[in-house]
């Protein structure tokens, strides 16, 4: 094992790496090229957006697979901050970076020098030199927090300021959450053979749609339904609206010559689904390049962890698949969509599950359960649907209305209002877990003064899913 000092470098072996920082810290990572700037929000990995091609965050451990990073990525910078927002790192034990390889062998350890008033620390950098990857210890602090650091890396930062100094109000408009950096997307951006393809700007050029997009191209259902049956999931059926969306997105990827959840035309795969007339409660997608046939495509999905979970997901009832070829390169781009349709009863069940999971967290903290409040539910659902329909993500609507404004407009008489929002999470369990892993959102969930709740959910928009919790007292 190597014990590094600031500025120290270490060559790394090939394969996956586990990067762990135990203690009362939030771990983040920024994926950049040599310019030191992210390409977009998807390059920022943190508690509310825990995955990116080649990087996955779980608790205090970041798993890196350098060869799977997006095209053009040459650096991954590891950042730590206090789990409790605004806490100077000097009040905490010194963070220690532990790096291990796939078999679990410890490669390096780094403990930076003591900090002063800094709240965020640039801890280390994984960088590429030629075909090899190396680790550099840094230990540089930021006094203006994660938001300042993120802006330096080119991340658009959404912040909500509290009208009180403590971040919550006992009367009037309270703090709704601490910070949301971008939003999470959960598509699979992989190609056969394991190389991620998600880079660069689209290129102008021709593409052609593959033939064989009939009612069941090359026996897609005959391949996926037996696999679902083996996993204990019900069969899916083909849906023409999903097929139209899949064809449009596969063509957009081929035209741009890259995999992406959002096409060069600015339309996301989820917006194509809703534009085709399919309203959903659950959605999943495979965005893949490389396989030459449908059988190869399904085989890839079944042997790869996240795509396999999507294919097996029992929530889905409909599917579709399409492919298109970039005639400049011969590369084949695939889009497979999985969904279950929106129903009023399904929306009620989804909201009820969010409420139940929220109350379970409150019970664990010794707090009373929240009661469902119809006006808060109306306001939460309206704001969620608005975010999905107009493709924005904010506590403030384009017209300037805030959570307490919307609650009052819906007829709520609650004197104190709080709001959590999220986007990209695919289930009630996933969204509540994300909120509980975020200090600002967790504070709202565990606010003792809150007595009532309303929940909203909507599918569509750039992120696929949008969620709102509206609290009142």
Q: In tens digits, what is the pLDDT along the chain, a chain of 473 residues?
A: 578 887 788 999 989 999 999 888 889 999 998 877 888 778 888 877 888 899 999 888 999 999 999 989 999 999 998 887 667 788 888 899 999 998 888 999 999 888 777 788 889 999 998 889 999 988 877 665 666 666 667 655 443 333 222 222 222 222 222 222 222 233 333 333 332 332 222 222 333 333 333 457 678 999 999 999 999 999 999 999 999 999 999 999 999 888 888 887 888 899 999 999 999 999 999 999 999 999 999 999 999 888 899 999 999 999 999 999 999 999 999 999 999 999 999 999 999 999 999 999 999 999 999 999 999 999 999 999 999 999 888 898 999 999 999 999 999 999 999 999 998 888 999 999 989 988 788 999 999 999 999 999 999 988 899 999 999 99
Burial (0-12, 13-18, 19+ Cβ within 10 Å), 472: buried
pLDDT of residue 217: 61
**Pairing mode of beta strands 2-4, 106-110:** parallel
* SS3 state at 62: strand
Please enumerate in sequence order all residues whose Cβ is within 8 A of that of 104, keeping only pairs 6 or more positions apart, or say none: 18
pLDDT of residue 146: 63
Residue among 154, 125, 153, 155 nearest 139 (CA): 125
Distances in Å between the Cα of 471 and the Cα atoms of 414, 439, 444, 450, 465 are 9, 16, 8, 6, 20
Q: How far apart are CA 425 and CA 346, in angstroms?
A: 17
Handedness of CA 389, 390, 395, 400 (dihedral sign): negative
b/e burial code for range 20-42 (CB count within 10 A of at least 16 → b): bbeeebbbbbbbbbeeeebbebb
Longest dimension (CA), the chain: 65
- Write the DSSP string, 154-167: T---EE---SSTTS
| pTM for the model | 0.59
Residue among 399, 406, 402, 404 nearest 382 (CA): 406
- Using the 8-state DSSP alphabet, how is residue 234 labeled? P
pLDDT of residue 43: 86
- Using the 8-state DSSP alphabet, how is residue 433 labeled? H
Handedness of CA 410, 414, 416, 422 (dihedral sign): negative
Element (H, E) at 80: strand 75-82
Q: How far apart are CA 81 and CA 85, in angstroms?
A: 8
pLDDT of residue 4: 86
Handedness of CA 262, 264, 266, 272 (dihedral sign): negative
- Write the DSSP string, 402-416: -HHHHHHHTT---SB
């Amino acid at each position: 094992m190597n014990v590094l000092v600031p500025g120290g470098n270490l060559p790394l072996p090939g394969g996956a790496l586990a990067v762990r920082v135990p203690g009362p810290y939030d771990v983040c990572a920024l994926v950049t090229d040599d310019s030191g700037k992210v390409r977009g929000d998807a390059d920022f990995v943190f508690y509310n957006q825990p995955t990116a091609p080649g990087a996955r965050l779980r608790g205090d451990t970041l798993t890196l697979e350098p060869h799977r990073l997006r095209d053009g990525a040459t650096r991954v910078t590891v950042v730590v901050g206090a789990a409790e927002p605004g806490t100077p790192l000097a009040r905490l034990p010194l963070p220690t970076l532990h790096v291990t390889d796939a078999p679990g062998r410890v490669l390096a350890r780094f403990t930076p020098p003591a900090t002063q008033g800094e709240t965020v620390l640039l801890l280390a950098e994984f960088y590429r030199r030629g075909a090899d990857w190396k680790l550099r210890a840094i230990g540089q602090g930021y006094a203006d927090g994660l938001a300042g650091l993120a802006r330096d890396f080119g991340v658009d930062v959404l912040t909500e300021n509290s009208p009180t100094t403590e971040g919550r109000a006992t009367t009037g408009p309270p703090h709704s959450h601490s910070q949301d950096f971008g939003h999470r997307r959960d598509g699979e951006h992989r190609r056969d053979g394991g190389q991620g393809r998600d880079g660069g700007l689209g290129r102008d050029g021709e593409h052609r749609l593959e033939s064989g997009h009939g009612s069941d191209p090359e026996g897609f259902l005959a391949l996926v339904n037996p696999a679902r049956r083996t996993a204990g999931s019900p069969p899916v059926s083909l849906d023409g609206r999903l097929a139209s969306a899949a064809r449009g997105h596969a063509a957009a990827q081929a035209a741009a010559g890259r995999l992406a959840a959002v096409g060069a035309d600015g339309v996301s795969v989820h917006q194509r689904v809703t534009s085709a007339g399919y309203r959903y409660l659950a959605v999943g997608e495979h965005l893949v390049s490389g396989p030459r046939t449908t059988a190869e495509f399904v085989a890839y999905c079944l042997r790869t962890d996240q795509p396999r979970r999507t294919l097996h997901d029992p929530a889905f009832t409909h599917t579709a698949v399409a492919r298109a070829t970039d005639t400049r390169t011969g590369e084949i781009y695939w889009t497979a969509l999985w969904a279950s349709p929106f129903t009023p009863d399904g929306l009620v069940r989804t909201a009820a599950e969010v409420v139940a999971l929220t109350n379970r967290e409150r019970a664990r903290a010794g707090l009373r359960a929240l009661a469902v409040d119809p006006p808060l539910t109306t306001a939460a659902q309206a704001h969620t649907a608005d975010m999905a329909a107009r493709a924005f993500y904010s506590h403030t609507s384009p017209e300037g209305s805030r959570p307490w404004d919307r609650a009052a407009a819906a007829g709520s008489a609650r004197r104190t209002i709080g709001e959590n929002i999220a986007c990209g999470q695919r289930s009630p369990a996933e969204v509540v877990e994300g909120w509980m892993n975020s200090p600002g959102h967790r504070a709202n969930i565990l606010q003792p003064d809150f007595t009532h709740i309303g929940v909203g959910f909507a599918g569509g928009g750039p992120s696929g899913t949008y969620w709102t919790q509206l609290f009142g007292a």
